[in-house]
Amino acid sequence: MSTARVLQHKTQPQHRPDNTRYSPKFLEKQKSLQKQDKITSIALTAAIIAGLVFATAQLARGAFLNTDRYFTLNNKMSELNTLNKKANYENAVLKKNYKNYTSEEGVESLARDHLNLVRDNEISIIIKKS
Q: Write the pLDDT tens digit of every residue in 8-25.
A: 555 555 555 554 577 888
Counting every residue, how long is the chain?
130
Confidence class of residue 49 from pLDDT cuts 50, 70 and 90? very high
Q: What's the rounded Cα separation, in Å, for the pair 119 and 126? A: 15
Interior/surface letters 98-130, b for 16+ CB within 10 angstroms, e for the rest = eeeeeeeeeeeeeeeeeeeeeeeeeeeeeeeee
pLDDT digits (tens, 9 = 90+) for 71-98: 999 999 999 999 999 999 999 999 988 8
**For the whole model, what pTM was predicted?**
0.43
Instruction: State percent of the chain over pLDDT 70.
Output: 85
In the prediction, which pLDDT does 35 show? 85
CA-based nearest residue to 37, from 14, 29, 53: 29
Segments making up each domain of the chain, as ranges: 24-115
